[in-house]
Structure 1
Amino acid sequence: MTSSYQRPQPEEVARVTSEAAELLEVLWGRASTAPVSASQLRVLFILEHNEGINLRTLADALGSTPPSTSRLCDRLQAVGFMERRAASTSKRELRLYLSRRGRAFLTDLRSRRETALTSVLEQMPAAQRSALLSGLEAFCLAAAAQIHGDADEKAPPARTA
């Protein structure tokens, strides 16, 4: 770990962040995402922030093909987490929406994840929690700007699971 007197290099911060992400995956695994897979969960997160997108746009966001994405959506629709509706401009085009049950699932999942995180954060000294919060807020801003392709835009931190 880097001492507080040295300026940490981006590579060191990236290594520790990667380790933290792996530990988060373990903690979040304990909070369980059943009955959906990690890929299906990504679909839910995308739909939450992009209501009414079409299958091709969703496939692009996932870096997948429309047939594979359609199968993910079939499963999510079967468990009642998403809905397909005809577009108002074209009855042939389907728009994808998170259902009320899907929203409730994400709310519950986030609550369980936050409970798991709280038990870890309570073990940290208050000053380190404060530093972590500041650092994570800056990270969220930088990541959101990079993801959205506008490094100058000061978007609020993205709410993630």
Structure 2
Amino acid sequence: MTHRRAGGEPAVDAELVESVEAGAELLREVCDQALEALGSTVPPTQLRALLIVDRFDRLNLNTLAQEMRASNSATSRLCDRLQASGLIVREAAARDRREVVISLSLPGRRLVGWARRQRRRELAKVIDTMSPAGREALVNGLSAFRAALDGHP
């Protein structure tokens, strides 16, 4: 159960929230630096969409739009660009021919695999400099954060 202050704000120490925010920004920065080799060939929004498609394996436009927190029309235009680049495949769903299912093409899978390896390599460099206790605290903290996101505090 989340405790709330008057006005509905969570009762969490502001310094803790700022620290988590700063950590998240640094984590994103490390991940972004890892992908700089892509340059402008695959913009960040397109790469984010590819990573989401990879996580689901196959999904429809509505699900991708929800995950992207974007409108269906914007997501459809994004998919047009990804398909034109040969990174995704769109096909009719087996159950309902009107539904379009999105999946990664072979080049899309290769790109996502490369991106994940790059990010993991950069993250490993940072984690390697941490103490064993720091690593354990990081894993425990991230696990608790994920559980809270999933509604299992």
Partner of 2:121: 115
Partner of 2:93: 87
Moved over 6 A (4+): none
The CA deviation string for residues 40-84 of structure 1, in whole angstroms up to 9 with x for no partner, is: 223223222334322233223322222211111112112222110
Please give the TM-score of this superposition, normalised by the length of structure 1.
0.73
Q: RCO (CA 8 Å, sep 6+): is it higher in 1 or 2?
A: 2
Counterpart mapping for 1:9-158 below 5 A: 10-32=13-35, 34=38, 35-143=41-149, 145=150, 151-152=151-152
Unaligned runs of 5+ in 2: 1-11
Cα RMSD of the aligned pairs, angstroms, is 2.2
Instruction: State the alpha-carbon separation in 2 of the partners of residues 19 and 86 from structure 1.
Output: 43
The CA deviation string for residues 3-35 of structure 1, in whole angstroms up to 9 with x for no partner, is: xxxxxx553332112111211222222211633
Unaligned runs of 5+ in 1: 1-8, 146-150, 155-161
Q: Give the number of equivalent residue pairs.
A: 139
Please give the TM-score of this superposition, normalised by the length of structure 2.
0.77
Report how far residue 122 of structure 1 moved.
Answer: 1.9
Report how far residue 89 of structure 1 moved.
Answer: 3.3
